[in-house]
Amino acid sequence: MIISTLSFSLMNSVVKYLDHIATFELVFFRTIGSLILGTSYILLKGIPLLGNNRKFMIFRALTGLIAMSLFFMSLKYLPIGTAVSLRYLAPIYAALFAVLLLKERLKPIQWFLFLFAFAGVIVLKGFDKDISSTGLFLVLAASVFSGLVYVLIRKIGNGDHPLVIVNYFMFTGTVIGGVLSINNWVAPKGKDWLLLSSLGIFGFFGQVFMTKAFQIAKTNLVAPLKYIEVIFTLLVGVFWFADVYSLWSLLGIIMIITALITNVIIGNK
């Protein structure tokens, strides 16, 4: 899980660094790299490429594409650690969608923790005047769509291999990202090619090692480790991008992550 979170942190950092590249061009390079690696693995292992629950996998792919595009856009406006922390509100929206769409129930303490996490957002925005409203809107919208992705994956269930589900997402992102980036294409120069190529590699290994972690250890032990990504990303923001986080920003981030980790532990019990 630590390798996974480090991979995702590096991927997000490269996206932040390449802020001169159009969003959908970044989406294209992010997805085509993972598509090539994922398809190669699927064919090598003899896994059915198209899967079974195709309709919901297409819905998941489109929803995931919207979430990723909005998140990449938000990185142009927000410190990277703040953006990643706010994106992690997705499990709250996932829980709310599960109540509405899957008729699941939540414990009263979970509702309190969700409110506590939102209070962290208010602290983050209300007291830190440097937080961009545009960036905040984009990343909150991204977390809503990410929450819907979780519910769609649960709806798909275990009938399809995880890499097949991911591959639908990567294929959709490659096609739509490629088409939408034609008019705004920025020709990569020098090390841009290497950095753009790394997006798919970091993203692919982030997915693979996260899946492996959940396969070999109990969920309530593994899931909280996802939030190590916030620590990695904050450090990258400080040392690579010279991001400055006020005490209010750090307090808001701590409130959000504390609430979500506690919710994961309680939810799994």
Specify the number of domains making up the chain: 1
- Give the domain range for residue 72: 2-268
Mean pLDDT, the chain, rounded, equals: 87
Q: Express each pLDDT in 22-72 by its tens digit.
A: 999 999 999 999 999 999 989 998 888 888 888 889 999 999 999 999 999
Counting residues of the chain whose pLDDT is more than 90, the rounded percentage is 34
Q: Express each pLDDT in 223-252 by its tens digit.
A: 677 888 888 888 888 888 888 888 888 898
| pTM (two decimals) | 0.85
> Residue 48: is it exposed, middle or buried by C-beta count within 10 angstroms (0-12/13-18/19+)?
exposed
